[in-house]
Amino acid sequence: MSGRVCSILLVVAGLTACASPPPIRTVDYVDLERFMGDWYVIANIPTFVEKGAHNAVESYSMDSDGSIDTHFTFRQGGFDGKIRKYNPRGFVRQQTGNAVWGMQFIWPFKAEYRVIYLKDDYSQTIIGRRQRDYVWIMARTPSIEDRELQAMMSFLAGQGYDISEIQKVPQRW
């Protein structure tokens, strides 16, 4: 390869690297036993599956093989809409403090799942992705105080998320 072609490739590689945002830091450690259970989705940048979701809840439990059995349920389009259920499997990535998972909806593909915020009492969390294309603000209760939600939104803006894309998920129980 000529020196000119190598130089052009290096410039393109450098521009591409500069254009991508830095990785999102995860929390240092997730106590998986404490993390298991029900999480209400308070707000998100929804995937195509979640658009129009109401009463969205993500539930986790540890399986004997170390993977995480996940049940995601919501009502489509309204509080009386059709119940949708998904059952992806989570795989905790080693040497990440349990804060990075591969979430498998369809074998063999695993979507990135990063615990980027976790309140000390495990009552609120934010799950993000390196691409900043999706995010989930979740809590152990169906609602959180507005000031807490605003603090989480500010946190996400600081992480490079376009917070104008984040939508509240209607919860009524």
Question: Each residue of 72-97: pLDDT tens digit?
Answer: 999 999 999 999 999 999 999 999 99
Question: Each residue of 46-66: pLDDT tens digit?
Answer: 999 999 999 999 999 999 999
pLDDT of 108 reads: 65
- 38, 54, 36, 35: which is closest to 46 by C-alpha? 54
d(CA 135, CA 47): 9
Domains along the chain?
23-168 (2.40.128.20)
117: β partners: 126
pLDDT of 14 reads: 42
